[in-house]
Amino acid sequence: MTYQLNTDGGARGNPGPAGIGIVIRNERKEKIYEMGVYIGETTNNQAEYTAVLEGLKAAIERKIANLICYLDSELIVKQLNREYKVKNAGLKPLFQKVAELAEKFEHIEFKHVPREKNTDADLLVNKALDKYMYKQG
């Protein structure tokens, strides 16, 4: 059984207040897990990596062995697929952690999708950020 992971990360300001969104679906496209949380002040790309990292952890906790990961950040996908090198010092440790977790899966793929195809994860990011911003008054 192959599961689908959609992740998104975003910061309002770059860097700025940031959030992540994660959705895991089974092969029937049914949501089996979702999370949207505020993660503090960070950059957009750090938030994207954090979303993938937390999504992989959630998949591992659910004993998922085969996973296709969909992200709307082409840069992060190309880095995870080793098409681009990770040059940014702030991203290197996050890339390394994701790479280590990726090894725990029997099969894993990272694919780029347009933002319009990643709306569930994007919505969770924005809800988390809106909630944080509202609390700040």
Domain ranges of the chain: 2-136
Reported as a pLDDT band with limits 50, 70 and 90, residue 49 is very high
CA distances from 32 to 11, 25, 74 (A): 26, 5, 25
| Topology classification of domain 2-136 | Nucleotidyltransferase; domain 5 (3.30.420)
d(CA 114, CA 61): 28
Structure pTM? 0.96
34, pLDDT greater than 90: yes
What was the pLDDT predicted at 134?
A: 86
> What are the tokens at 20?
């992540």
3-state SS assignment for residue 33: strand
Length of the chain: 137
The confidence score (pLDDT) of residue 133 equals 86
- Torsions phi, psi for 42 (to 5 deg): -160, 180
